[in-house]
Structure 1
Amino acid sequence: MNYPLVAIVIPTLNEALFIGPCLDSILGQNYPFNRLDIMVVDGGSDDKTHEIVNGYADKWSNIRWIDNPRKIQSAAFNIGVSRSSASIVVRMDAHARYASDYISKCVAKLSTNPELGNVGGVCKVEAGAPTLMGKANAVLNQTSFGIGGAAFRIGTKACFTDTVPFGAFPRKVLDEIGPMNEKLSRGEDNEYNARIRNAGYKIYFDPQIISTYYSRPTLTSSVHQMYRNGRSIGVLLRTFPRAVGLRHVVPACFVVGMLSCLLFGWWVPILWNVLIWILVVYWIAALGATGLACLRFGFDMGFILPILFFSVHIAYGTGTVYGFLTKKI
């Protein structure tokens, strides 16, 4: 097998708890380590992230720390791409760890088809804290009702898709597409993958390429994350709608539908009945999804999951509406 030089770009901001396991999983790759250019591109961490990374960099010369004055992940990716001449760039997340054959499988798949512009795989989710809520947040990210039907979350068959996490990009595609949009503080990957597809390249999902992500530990942190994710979708819906899929806007339709029925019901009372039916259908679906999840993951989450489903759906939908209506990017 030919072993092209691979640049690994890891955006960070206060990832002291996770950057060590992330780097350890990269050190454990079966790809030749001397063919990896590993860059931790940091947006101003004030915890021990820098100290931990320096410990690795002192031992391995191809691990380096780079400052990211703009802080956001799109800027981190662009900095990493510009600081390396590698023919393949892999965008990894510090909040995850990677199977030992992650890089080799990405490189091998890219070599099979010049039309591939991005390759990635399944993202398994583990609890970010040893608590019932931490476990529930992990389950949330593994159910189609909870987080949508993206292939990388629930897919089991290889296919062309619209996006993958922690993707591997050929340099020639990056040179053609250009840098990530640094006007976007979130959702930059959706917009970038849409540009790749619009240029005629394909995005490939392979379930044999495996990473593991750590879920948010609390209800508050999960709701905050989903609100910000939803807001990024609202911004994309206004500025680059081709980057948004139907599954992304369902929570916003849910929120708008309920608010419309609640407000206009003062003039058209039948809308209050519609609101009741919307909630009835939703909670039937939520309880059904909870039951299926409990069969897979345990019944100790039977009370928490419906509340978590509702909370993150409202947060995501509200964020989408806000991102769409405001002029801020």
Structure 2
Amino acid sequence: MNAKTTTSDKVPQPGSGTQVRWIEVSADDAGQRLDNFLMRCYRKVPKTLIYRVIRKGEVRVDKGRVKPHRKLQAGEVVRVPPIRQPDSPEAAVIAQAQLDRIERSIVYEDADLLVLNKPSGVAVHGGSGLSWGVVEVLRRLRPYAKRMELAHRLDRDTSGCLLVAKKASVLKALHAQIREDQLLKQYWALVAPHWPKSVSRVDLPLLKNTLQSGERLVKVSAEGKPSVSDFRCLETFEDADLVEVTLRTGRTHQIRVHAQASGAPVVGDEKYGDQAVNQRFRKQGMKRLALHARRLGFTHPVTGQWCELEAPLHDDFSALLVRMRGEH
């Protein structure tokens, strides 16, 4: 069931951005915060504008003023003032080759969700100069799934398991599991020079800073949020190790910063890594971040069953390991 929209008889019809909208809350949206509800309805409108119209009392729920964190109930009507939206990301031109590439990358799908083996170099969503990302491609591929949303994110250069919900109720349930750290998230990373044998758990708080350019930079700091990663060496090579990392918390750039702080940064990491090491591995064919979301586990929000899915390494990563082993 989708939210119903009506408009005043005195104003233009929806789409022009110059009319008041009355949006009826559907059963799927029940329990969702007002701010999150509006951000979904107005995907391309800046968050600052959404919060501004709420704060000024221009957004009403059943004719009453409300706070951003107010949870909505099915059947309530949200009044939204005129908000002009930029062009929708669905209008972006997406090459058929990219549509096919993402289609081939789906490792699991049912009526409620899907898991994608995201290629490295592909952003999870459009914005910041990008006309499209994974979620825009999936919405194009699955037009019937009106509520397609990312359950979590991966850095643009990180490959591997990406969980996407098709329904608002499924997204809400998955977010609850993420908040409680109930998802299994395991990564494979190539680190250099070698992972310290005495270190199996890195427990270092991380502080995120956003530079004026919009770039995110994370550092170890006592003022940061608790961050825990478990590392296990899978394979040792002459000048690098392949490690498995199990996240106990989910902070921005957590694996990359924890690896750097342990003296063995991830190969190909242009932000936290060793540039000489990166250059050496580029010559061997690894021209990107050697970090792959290998395994993802979660409780299916509809069936209640535990699901555990694996994403195979992409060709560049697997080919590098073959060469490092001296195989042919």
Structure 2 length as normaliser, TM-score?
A: 0.28
- Which of the pair is proportionally richer in helix? 1
Greater Cα radius of gyration, structure 1 or 2: 2
- Which of the pair is proportionally richer in strand? 2
